C-alpha cells in the first residue's frame, strides 16, 4: 500500500501503533478490536478506522499544492472531505471553497480566473462543472483529488452504458459523490438515483408493471437522465453505488432488483436484463463497517464514533453501533465536556445535543472507539486522552499498558 505524506497535525504514532491492519486467523481476516486497559478503564478500539487511501491521497495533494504555489489563489470546488478539522486547516492556509457540499455557489464563477488553481475534491465533480472550468481556461489535471474508488464506479457505469443497461445508482441524491456519479453515468447512458431499499422496491414495482410508467416522474423527480423512458429503459439494468454507503444495503438492493428481473424474465434470460456489479463497493468503507460490527459484539458501556456529521461513511458506522448500545457521534475531543457530558450529533433529529454525565470519574468502564474515513489519527488520540483524563488517568498510565501487536 502506498504511503502518503500526511501533515503532522493529522497524524499520531500512538494511533498508528494501535490500529494496525486487519489480522488473519487461519487465512480469514480478523477484525477483532484492540483492547487497551489501564486500571478500571478499558478502551476497545476498532481494528480498521480513520483515513482511507482516497482521503490520504487528497490531503497529500492539497498540502503539496499549497507548498508549491505560495503566490497563487487556490480553491477547492467544495469541501475536500467531510471533516471540519481538515477543512478548517485548509481555509486557515488560504484555500477557499467555491461551492457548498450541496452545490450552492459560495463564490461566483466570474471571480475565478485562469490564473487560479482549482482543485477537485475527493468526491469528484460533475461533467457540467468540469466544462465550466474548461471554459475559463482552468486546467485541473494536476489538482484532481478524486478518490480512485469513485473513479472505479464511473468506469463501471461506462461499461454498463456500453451494454445498453440503465445505471441504477444507490446513493444520497444531494451528496457530492452521487451527483458526480450521476453526471458521468448520464453522459454515456440512462441513469437513475435511488436512495434506499424502500425506493428499490418502488422501482421494482415499476419494472413488474404494478405501478404505471406514467407515475415514475412523480416518485423520482430530478433523479433520472434527460431522455429516460420508464417504460423502455428498465428492461436491462445494473447497480452501482455511492462508495460510502452501507455495503450490505447496496448488495441487498442489487439482489432484490436481480430477483425482480428473474421473476419477470426468467432465470435463463437473466444475463440479458441484469448486470452484476458487486465490485463497486469501496474496500475502506467495507472494512470500517466490518470492524464496527466486530467491535459491537464486545461488552461495553457506550461507544464513541468520531467524525464530521456530514460524513456519510461515519454516519453509517454510528447507525450500526446504535443497534447494540448507546453511541455518541462526536466531532473531536472538544465534544467531551469537562463535567463528563458529551456533545454529539443526534441522527434522529439531525442536530447536535448534549447528553449529561456520560462519563462518571467514579465509575470507569469499557468504551468502544472508532472513526470515519475522513477522521485524522490525531483526533482519535486526543479523544482517548481526554476521556482518560476525566477518569483521572494520565497519558503515561495508558502508555504503560500499550497493547503490543
Residues carrying an active site annotation: 177
Question: Residue 241, CB half-sphere, CA atoms under 13 Å: how many?
Answer: 27
C-alpha distances in Å from residue 49, one per residue of 206, 291, 294, 319: 39, 8, 12, 15
- Name the residue among 348, 349, 318 with its Cα closest to residue 331: 318
Burial 214-229 (b: 16+ CB within 10 A, else e): eebeeebeebbbeebe
Pairing of strands 34-38, 41-45: antiparallel
Strand partners, 120: 144
Helix (H, G, I), strand (E, B) or coil at 99: strand
- Name the residue among 343, 320, 347 with its Cα closest to residue 331: 343
Which runs of consecutive H residues, i.e. helices, occur in 221-341?
A: 247-265, 283-295, 312-322
Type and span of the H or E element at 200: helix 197-208
* Cβ–Cβ < 8 Å for 243, 285: yes
Phi, psi of 263 (to 5 degrees): -65, -35
Type and span of the H or E element at 74: strand 74-76
* Cβ–Cβ < 8 Å for 6, 81: no
Phi, psi of 228 (to 5 degrees): -65, 135
Amino acid at each position: 500500500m502506498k504511503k502518503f505524506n500526511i501533515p503532522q497535525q493529522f497524524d499520531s504514532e500512538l494511533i498508528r501503533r494501535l490500529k494496525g491492519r486487519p489480522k488473519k486467523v487461519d487465512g480469514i481476516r480478523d477484525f477483532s478490536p484492540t483492547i487497551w486497559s489501564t486500571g478500571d478503564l478499558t478502551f476497545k478500539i476498532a481494528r480498521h478506522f480513520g483515513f482511507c487511501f482516497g482521503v490520504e491521497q487528497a490531503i497529500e495533494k492539497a498540502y503539496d499544492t499549497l507548498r508549491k504555489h505560495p503566490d497563487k489563489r487556490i480553491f477547492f470546488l467544495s469541501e475536500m472531505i467531510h471533516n471540519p478539522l481538515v477543512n478548517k486547516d485548509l481555509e486557515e492556509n488560504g484555500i477557499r471553497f467555491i461551492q457548498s457540499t450541496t452545490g450552492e455557489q459560495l463564490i461566483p464563477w466570474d471571480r475565478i480566473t485562469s490564473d487560479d488553481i482549482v482543485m477537485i475534491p475527493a468526491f469528484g465533480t460533475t461533467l457540467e462543472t468540469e466544462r465550466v472550468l474548461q471554459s475559463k481556461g482552468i486546467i485541473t489535471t494536476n489538482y484532481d483529488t478524486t478518490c480512485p474508488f469513485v473513479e472505479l464506479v464511473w468506469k463501471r457505469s461506462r461499461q454498463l452504458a456500453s451494454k445498453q443497461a440503465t445505471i441504477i445508482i444507490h446513493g444520497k441524491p444531494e451528496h457530492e459523490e452521487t451527483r458526480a456519479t450521476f453526471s458521468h453515468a448520464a453522459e454515456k447512458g440512462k441513469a437513475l438515483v435511488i436512495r434506499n431499499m424502500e425506493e428499490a422496491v418502488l422501482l421494482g414495482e415499476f419494472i413488474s408493471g404494478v405501478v404505471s410508467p406514467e407515475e415514475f416522474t412523480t416518485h423520482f423527480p430530478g433523479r433520472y437522465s434527460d431522455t429516460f423512458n420508464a417504460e423502455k429503459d428498465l428492461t436491462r439494468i445494473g447497480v452501482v453505488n455511492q462508495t460510502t454507503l452501507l455495503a450490505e444495503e447496496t448488495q441487498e438492493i442489487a439482489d432484490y432488483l436481480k430477483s425482480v428481473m428473474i421473476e419477470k424474465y426468467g432465470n435463463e434470460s437473466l444475463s440479458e436484463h441484469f448486470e452484476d456489479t458487486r465490485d463497486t463497493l469501496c474496500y475502506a468503507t467495507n472494512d470500517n463497517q466490518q470492524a464496527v460490527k466486530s467491535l459491537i459484539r464486545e461488552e461495553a458501556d457506550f461507544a464513541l464514533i468520531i467524525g464530521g456529521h456530514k460524513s456519510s461513511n461515519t454516519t453509517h458506522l454510528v447507525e450500526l453501533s446504535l443497534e447494540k448500545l448507546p453511541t455518541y457521534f462526536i466531532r473531536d475531543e472538544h465534544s467531551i465536556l469537562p463535567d463528563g457530558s458529551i456533545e454529539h450529533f443526534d441522527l434522529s433529529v439531525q442536530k447536535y445535543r448534549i447528553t449529561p454525565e456520560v462519563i462518571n470519574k467514579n465509575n470507569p468502564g469499557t468504551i468502544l472507539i472508532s472513526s470515519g474515513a475522513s477522521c485524522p489519527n490525531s483526533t482519535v488520540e486526543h479523544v482517548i486522552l481526554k476521556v482518560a483524563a476525566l477518569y483521572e488517568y494520565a497519558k503515561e498510565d495508558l502508555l504503560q499498558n500499550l497493547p503490543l501487536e
